[in-house]
């Protein structure tokens, strides 16, 4: 009989196969897990991670603190006294738009569009507040005239006086932030050729965040890895068409690291976390500070510390960011990527900054708990659990003998505002992450156990094979009988 059931041999074979497969899976568990996990993470239009990436539904908030200058009339005889007002809290809606996927080179290109809604209920300040800040328009115009001739500088000095520009401006908070305010100097600047403005786009108003709401240009055009081949997704490849930064030379021009959303796997304590930040127009190296757990999930905390924006005093790494003269430690000259305006970024309240910065103003009190910039990341899978992104925007002032308004100012950085964006993953996501980590940690063991179990079955089946012979004969007869009764069954 050709079709005699050979269940025992089949079972033996299957058990052997399963045992071998389970053993192989157990041995290769880490790579298998990595491959499956990466396929879920890759930014291809069908992946789950892609849908969440295009329009994240994690609630995001932008919190802005303005420095209200309370003694502008006494400047420069007295140090500016600054009073922090805020937070002005804005709910942020972030979307990735103009997304193009390029499977040929494993990249994905996109722009980021952000919309902000003022959140009246949780803000501790009103957009109707009367706030006094440094006159940023006049300070920028003066800075731009640094290498002009005497006559042109005198002309600017007169123009400032004529348009009634003083050292400070008092405006409503809403105008200073998103709405902007009109100024005759802007109209004047708009009539100049673009080269005189460092290529800055023409605007009709001035505001610290003017033009950013709904804009798709603020963060620039990002090209990142899609993670389709074995590499990590979301690593910067090009920014606004540049594959290295045009603002800096040497090492500082290097554009590497995460675009902020996907981190490398297997983070270590000795390696910095490398993130490209379009706000800073550079790659930032954040150092490991400590480890901890968040609801049972371990994390490594990476921070911006003294070394991050250090000038060459203690590390060489940053001197190429100075663009000439290295001024204070703990600040970053972003002039080159802000159309030549005298803009400097620092941590809030000049945390980790040169003591001279704090010495020139009153009312700042750096506090690591409130002002640190950190990323707490689950190290094995590189998932950010808790992030606080914080920056302070400052305007550079220096004495300009030919411009009356600035003839006697000290050389200093004038703090204008600081922002913070805090994101913590939700409990639901933490729960999922616990499962993923469980699968990762225990999957190999489970497979090894399965291999053992199948091996046991294998042994049992081959042992009993001799004892069960009789049963087999009976079954064979039964089969033949059945066949006679039901001949159609065969085909
Ligand atoms: C991370 O480490 C695990 C072993 O601990 C290894 O199997 C895995 O391939 C590593 N992943 C990467 C991306 O290096
Ligand atoms: C800002 O300072 C000015 C001048 O001292 C004061 O009149 C104004 O009320 C302050 N604004 C807020 C919101 O505290
Ligand atoms: C980019 O997206 C915006 C908004 O979704 C759209 O208005 C614009 O036409 C797109 N631009 C390109 C070049 O696709
Ligand atoms: C990837 O390929 C696309 C289409 O061929 C091209 O437009 C794009 O510039 C490439 N990106 C990089 C980073 O090479
Ligand atoms: C941003 O634009 C939206 C409309 O697209 C508007 O509802 C919102 O109030 C604006 N936000 C601010 C801060 O002006
Ligand atoms: C804001 O306060 C300044 C003085 O601190 C005052 O001169 C100005 O008129 C006030 N502006 C408004 C709109 O109330
Ligand atoms: C900041 O950098 C720009 C060019 O990148 C440079 O022209 C300017 O002098 C620097 N600012 C200061 C205060 O050194």
Whether residue 131 has its Cβ less than 6 Å from ligand 2: yes
Looking at the predicted structure, is the pLDDT value of residue 358 above 80?
Answer: yes
Alpha carbon distance 184, 201 (integer Å): 17
Q: From the CB of residue 94, how many other CB atoms can be counted at a distance below 10 Å?
A: 16
What is the mean pLDDT of the segment spanning 361-389?
90
Looking at the predicted structure, is the pLDDT value of residue 58 above 60?
Answer: yes
Q: Model confidence over 181-194: pLDDT tens digits?
A: 998 888 887 777 76
Whether residue 98 has its Cβ less than 6 Å from ligand 3: yes
What pLDDT does residue 253 have?
A: 86
% of the chain exceeding 70 in pLDDT: 87
Pick from 351, 332, 225, 326: nearest CA to 279: 332
What is the mean pLDDT of the segment spanning 26-43?
72
pLDDT band at 176 (very low <50, low <70, confident <90, very high): very high
What is the mean pLDDT of the segment spanning 399-427?
91
Whether residue 396 has its Cβ less than 6 Å from ligand 7: yes
SS3 assignment, position 59: coil
Whether residue 30 has its Cβ less than 6 Å from ligand 1: yes
What is the mean pLDDT of the segment spanning 393-401?
94
Looking at the predicted structure, is the pLDDT value of residue 180 above 80?
Answer: yes
In this structure, which ligand is nearest to the CA of 339?
7
**Contact criterion met (CB below 8 Å) for 391 and 279:** yes
**Contact criterion met (CB below 8 Å) for 281 and 220:** no
Q: Model confidence over 187-218: pLDDT tens digits?
A: 887 777 766 666 677 788 899 999 899 999 88
Q: Model confidence over 14-28: pLDDT tens digits?
A: 777 777 777 777 777
Q: Model confidence over 82-128: pLDDT tens digits?
A: 999 989 999 999 888 999 989 888 888 999 999 999 999 999 999 99
* Bigger pLDDT: 442 vs 348: 348
What pLDDT does residue 119 have?
A: 93
Interval between CA 227 and ligand 4 midpoint (Å): 15
The residue whose C-alpha atom lies closest to atom 4 belonging to ligand 2 is 70
Which phi and psi (to 5°) does residue 59 adopt? -65, 125
Which residues are paired to 61 by β-bridges? 91
What pLDDT does residue 196 have?
A: 67
What pLDDT does residue 412 have?
A: 94
What pLDDT does residue 403 have?
A: 92
Whether residue 122 has its Cβ less than 6 Å from ligand 3: no
Q: From the CB of residue 76, how many other CB atoms can be counted at a distance below 10 Å?
A: 15
What pLDDT does residue 1 have?
A: 45
pLDDT band at 344 (very low <50, low <70, confident <90, very high): very high
SS3 assignment, position 447: helix
In this structure, which ligand is nearest to the CA of 246?
7
What is the mean pLDDT of the segment spanning 150-164?
90
Q: ∠ CA(220), CA(222), CA(227), 5° rounding?
A: 165
Whether residue 323 has its Cβ less than 6 Å from ligand 7: yes
Q: Where are the domains of the chain?
A: 16-41+426-481, 59-424
What is the mean pLDDT of the segment spanning 383-408?
92
In this structure, which ligand is nearest to the CA of 217?
3
Looking at the predicted structure, is the pLDDT value of residue 12 above 50?
Answer: yes
What pLDDT does residue 260 have?
A: 80
pLDDT band at 419 (very low <50, low <70, confident <90, very high): very high
């Amino acid at each position: 009989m050709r079709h005699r059931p050979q269940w025992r041999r089949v079972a033996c074979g299957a058990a052997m196969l399963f045992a071998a497969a389970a053993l192989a899976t157990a041995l290769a568990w880490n790579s298998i897990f990595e491959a499956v996990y990466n396929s879920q993470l890759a930014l291809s239009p069908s992946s789950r991670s892609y849908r969440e990436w295009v329009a994240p539904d994690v609630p995001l908030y932008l919190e802005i603190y303005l420095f209200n200058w309370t003694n502008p009339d006494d400047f420069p005889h007295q140090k500016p006294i600054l009073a922090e007002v805020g937070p002005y809290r804005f709910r942020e809606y972030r979307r990735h738009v103009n997304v193009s996927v390029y499977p040929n080179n494993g990249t994905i290109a996109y722009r980021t569009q952000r919309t902000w809604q003022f959140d009246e209920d949780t803000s501790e300040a009103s957009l109707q507040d009367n706030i006094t800040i440094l006159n940023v328009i006049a300070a920028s115009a003066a800075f731009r005239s640094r290498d002009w001739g005497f006559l042109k500088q005198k002309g600017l000095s007169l123009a400032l006086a004529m348009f009634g520009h003083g050292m400070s401006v008092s405006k409503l908070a809403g105008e200073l932030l998103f709405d902007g305010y009109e100024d005759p100097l802007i109209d004047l600047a708009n009539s100049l050729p673009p080269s005189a403005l460092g290529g800055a786009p023409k605007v009709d108003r001035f505001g610290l965040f003017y033009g950013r709401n709904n804009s798709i240009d603020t963060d620039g055009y990002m090209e990142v890895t899609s993670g389709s081949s074995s590499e990590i997704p979301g690593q910067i490849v090009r920014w606004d068409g540049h594959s290295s930064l045009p603002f800096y030379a040497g090492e500082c021009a290097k554009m590497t690291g995460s675009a902020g959303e996907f981190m490398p796997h297997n983070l270590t304590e000795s390696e910095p976390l490398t993130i490209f930040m379009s706000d800073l127009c550079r790659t930032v190296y954040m150092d490991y500070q400590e480890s901890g757990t968040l609801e049972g999930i371990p994390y490594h905390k990476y921070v911006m510390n003294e070394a991050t924006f250090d000038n060459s005093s203690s590390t060489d790494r940053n001197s190429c960011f100075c663009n000439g003269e290295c001024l204070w430690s703990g600040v970053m000259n972003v002039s080159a990527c802000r159309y030549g305006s005298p803009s400097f970024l620092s941590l809030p309240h000049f945390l980790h900054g040169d003591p001279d910065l704090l010495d020139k103003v009153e009312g700042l009190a750096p506090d690591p708990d409130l002002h640190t910039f950190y990323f707490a990341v689950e190290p094995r899978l590189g998932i950010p659990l808790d992030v606080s992104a914080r920056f302070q925007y400052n305007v550079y002032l220096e004495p300009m003998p030919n411009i009356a308004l600035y003839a006697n100012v000290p050389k200093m950085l004038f703090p204008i505002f600081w922002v913070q964006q805090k994101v913590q993953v939700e409990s639901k996501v933490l729960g999922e992450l616990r499962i993923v980590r469980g699968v990762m940690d225990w999957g190999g063991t489970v497979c090894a156990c399965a291999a053992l179990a199948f091996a046991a079955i294998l042994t049992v089946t081959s042992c009993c094979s001799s004892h069960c012979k009789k049963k087999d004969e009976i079954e064979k007869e039964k089969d033949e009988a059945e066949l006679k009764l039901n001949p159609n069954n065969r085909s």
